Amino acid sequence: MLLDEQALQKDPGLVDAKTAIAAMLIAYLANGRSSAIERDEERAEELLRDALEHDPNDAQARKILGILRRVQSRLTEAQIELETSIAVDPNDTFSLRNLGSTLVQMGRPEAAIPYIEKSIRLSPQDPFIAPNYSWLGMCHVLLGHPDQAIELLKKAWTANPRHASYRLWLAGALALKGDLTMRQPR
């Protein structure tokens, strides 16, 4: 973020630097690392507003704004921004996954599945494949499909064994089937 800040000081019109700084601020907000939540939200809003004034069809800025809206629990607005990002760049796996997760949070797991599946299909070696499998597994837990959920959540756990939420969702899926034992997938 420091280099983007320096670049922005030298040229206040650098749209990519504004979007990159906003993305970092939102990552801090989403991960509970922000020490000044309101200030960081306001700064991210301002930077994204500037970027979108420059180009209303900037897929990156729309995607980042969609994630900010999700972090703010403004889920309908998040959905709109992420759908706009996907309309501009239909193969952006990050936007697809985030639209899927937003739909899950909106209580629409069935609507989320095609977006998350497309994200996996487009990038099966994605470094973020574990969250894709996890969100897809959550969809199936919520829809009462424990067999599909177990398979997907095991893939998530295998892809990232350190992430505790994958194990929690897997335990829930196993419990739906009456299996109260859990072993690490091989």
Q: Is the pLDDT of residue 4 over 70?
A: no
- Per-residue pLDDT of 48-88, as tens digits, reads 999 999 999 999 999 999 999 999 999 999 999 999 999 99
How far is it between the farthest Cα atoms of the chain?
A: 61
Q: Is the pLDDT of residue 8 over 60?
A: no
**Distances 95 to 12, 15, 60, 106, 153 between C-alpha atoms, Å:** 27, 19, 9, 16, 21
**Distances 129 to 27, 104, 173, 180 between C-alpha atoms, Å:** 18, 17, 19, 26
Q: How confident is the model at residue 11 (pLDDT cuts 50, 70, 90)?
A: low
Give me the pLDDT at residue 3, please: 59
Whether residue 125 contacts residue 95, with contact meaning beta carbons closer than 8 Å, is answered with no
Q: pLDDT exceeding 90 applies to what percent of the chain?
A: 79
Domains of the chain: 1-90 (1.25.40.10), 92-186 (1.25.40.10)
Q: Is the pLDDT of residue 47 over 70?
A: yes
In order, the DSSP letters of 31-48 are TT--S-HHHHHHHHHHHH
- 178 by Cβ neighbours in 10 Å (0-12 / 13-18 / 19+) ranks as exposed
- Per-residue pLDDT of 112-146, as tens digits, reads 999 999 999 999 999 989 999 999 999 999 999 99
Whether residue 108 contacts residue 99, with contact meaning beta carbons closer than 8 Å, is answered with no
Q: Is the pLDDT of residue 90 over 90?
A: yes
Q: Is the pLDDT of residue 23 over 60?
A: yes
> pTM for the whole thing?
0.88
Mean pLDDT across the stretch 36-53?
95
**Distances 33 to 25, 36, 48, 166 between C-alpha atoms, Å:** 9, 9, 20, 21
Helix (H/G/I), strand (E/B), else coil: 83: helix
Give me the pLDDT at residue 10, please: 65
Q: Is the pLDDT of residue 31 over 70?
A: yes
Give me the pLDDT at residue 156, please: 96
Q: pLDDT exceeding 70 applies to what percent of the chain?
A: 90
